[in-house]
């Protein structure tokens, strides 16, 4: 059972500010309702009886920070989650990307990597593996380690296989992994083009130009101002005519990007317009 009143708003604010100053991890612009639940959850799991105890541990015990980040960030993900999104990538985005000599894709906030492997499978089936690079980043180094290993619970494979088929996959999903007791180890050829690195969307800058950025169910944890900042980061990191894919309940509607991106399907995928088209649009609106 959750006890939302364990932590007061002001206490949370000051703790997050302290963490930002001490460690450079800035959670002050995370959605309040959500991060409060997360902080509350870590108090319960780690059996802190008061907020002061949590604070003491965080400030005095530097090694505890990593654990805090792991628990505060949500690392729940799935392969081919929202199959219709992947169907749109498969049918509308990858054929466009296929015309480039080198395809750079950024999966921002990739967590334990299930989506990275999903995109790799799409790329392989589209025959694009030889010219693709998949940059997968997350704030949390320990989930990246899991992503790098590509070993997921076998119990999930039934769901993932169903998702895969709904996304338009026609192969036998089990071709992509080797089952070993309770785990499915994904094939090495899927991993060849993956580059994993820690990247903090709050504080780190653009590090390349991409034709596709996928960031799903990460922005929901940020407040509107921080979302706007991250949208600018994505805009700076996307080539003209590049694509941006978000989670099924996320939108650029509240941001400046809205003006020069257009949604390419009923899925949450937008395409950045060329400079001339942008001017045209501004001139006539």
Partner 1 sequence: METIFIIGGSAGSLKVLLEVLPQLHHHLKFPIIIVLHRKGYADSQLSFLLSTKTNLKVVEPDDKDILEPGYIYIAPPDYHLLIESDKTISLDFSEKLNFSRPSIDVTFSSAAKVFKENTFAILLSGANADGVAGLNHVKANNGTTLVQNPVTAEVNYMPLQAITQSKIDFVLNPDEIAAFINKLDVP
Q: Which tokens belong to 208?
A: 């390349």
When asked if residue 156 is in the footprint of partner 1 (CB under 8 A), the reply is no
Among 121, 217, 231, 244, binds partner 1 (CB under 8 A): 217
**CB under 8 Å to 138, separation ≥6 — which residues?**
109, 110, 111, 144, 147, 198, 199
- What burial class does residue 277 get, using C-beta atoms within 10 Å of its C-beta: 0-12 exposed, 13-18 middle, 19+ buried? middle
Task: Choose the stretch contacting partner 1; rule: CB under 8 A; options: 28-36, 56-64, 102-110, 206-214.
Answer: 28-36
Nearer to partner 1, 254 or 280 (CB): 254
Euclidean distance between CA atoms 57 and 43, whole angstroms: 11
CB–CB of 75/251 below 8 Å? Answer: no
When asked if residue 214 is in the footprint of partner 1 (CB under 8 A), the reply is no
Cβ at position 68, least distance to partner 1 in Å: 15
When asked if residue 158 is in the footprint of partner 1 (CB under 8 A), the reply is no
The footprint of partner 1 on residues 66-95 (CB under 8 A) is: 74, 76
Among 106, 176, 210, 221, binds partner 1 (CB under 8 A): 221
When asked if residue 142 is in the footprint of partner 1 (CB under 8 A), the reply is no
When asked if residue 224 is in the footprint of partner 1 (CB under 8 A), the reply is yes
Euclidean distance between CA atoms 85 and 167, whole angstroms: 8
Among 15, 202, 219, 244, binds partner 1 (CB under 8 A): 219
Euclidean distance between CA atoms 272 and 178, whole angstroms: 39
Among 17, 172, 197, 254, binds partner 1 (CB under 8 A): 254
Task: Choose the stretch contacting partner 1; rule: CB under 8 A; options: 26-34, 57-65, 198-206, 256-264.
Answer: 26-34
When asked if residue 146 is in the footprint of partner 1 (CB under 8 A), the reply is no
Q: How far is CA 24 from CA 19, 54, 115, 198, 203, in A?
A: 7, 18, 28, 14, 8
Nearer to partner 1, 32 or 131 (CB): 32
When asked if residue 4 is in the footprint of partner 1 (CB under 8 A), the reply is yes
Among 227, 245, 261, 267, binds partner 1 (CB under 8 A): 227
Cβ at position 210, least distance to partner 1 in Å: 23
Among 1, 60, 170, 284, binds partner 1 (CB under 8 A): 1
Among 23, 37, 263, 273, binds partner 1 (CB under 8 A): 37
Nearer to partner 1, 26 or 71 (CB): 71
Q: What is the biggest distance separating any 2 CA atoms in the chain, rounded to whole angstroms?
A: 62
Range 203-209 contact pairs with CB under 8 angstroms and sequence separation of 24 or more: 203/24, 203/26, 205/233, 206/233, 206/236, 206/237, 207/135, 207/237, 208/104, 208/106, 208/135, 208/237, 209/104, 209/237, 209/238, 209/239, 209/242
Kindly list the residues in this chain that would bind partner 1 in the complex (CB under 8 A).
Answer: 1-2, 4-5, 9, 31-34, 37-38, 74, 76, 217, 219-221, 223-224, 227, 247-251, 253-254
């Amino acid at each position: 059972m959750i006890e939302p009143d364990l932590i007061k708003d002001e206490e949370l604010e000051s703790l997050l500010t302290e963490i930002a100053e001490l460690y450079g991890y800035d959670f002050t612009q995370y959605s309040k309702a959500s991060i409060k639940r997360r902080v509350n959850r870590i108090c319960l799991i780690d059996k802190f009886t008061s907020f002061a105890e949590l604070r003491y541990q965080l400030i005095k015990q530097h090694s505890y920070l990593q654990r805090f980040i792991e628990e505060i960030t949500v690392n729940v993900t799935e392969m081919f989650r929202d199959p219709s999104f992947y169907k749109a990538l498969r049918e509308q985005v990858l054929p466009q990307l296929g015309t480039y000599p080198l395809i750079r894709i950024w999966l921002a906030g990739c967590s334990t990597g299930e989506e990275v492997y999903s995109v790799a499978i799409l790329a392989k089936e589209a025959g694009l593996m030889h010219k693709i690079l998949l940059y997968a980043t997350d704030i949390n180094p320990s989930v990246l380690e899991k992503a790098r290993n590509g070993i997921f619970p076998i119990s999930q494979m039934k769901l993932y296989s169903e998702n895969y088929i709904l996304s338009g996959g026609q192969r036998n999903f089990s071709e992509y992994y080797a089952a070993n007791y309770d785990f499915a180890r994904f094939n090495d050829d899927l991993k060849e083009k993956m580059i994993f690195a820690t990247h903090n969307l709050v504080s780190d800058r653009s590090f390349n130009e991409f034709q596709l950025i996928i960031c799903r169910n990460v922005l929901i944890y940020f407040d509107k101002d921080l979302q706007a900042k991250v949208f600018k980061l994505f805009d700076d990191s996307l080539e003209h005519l590049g694509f941006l894919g978000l989670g099924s309940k996320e939108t650029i509607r509240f941001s400046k990007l809205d003006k020069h991106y257009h949604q390419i399907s009923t899925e949450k995928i937008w395409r950045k317009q060329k400079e001339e088209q942008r001017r045209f649009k501004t001139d006539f609106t």
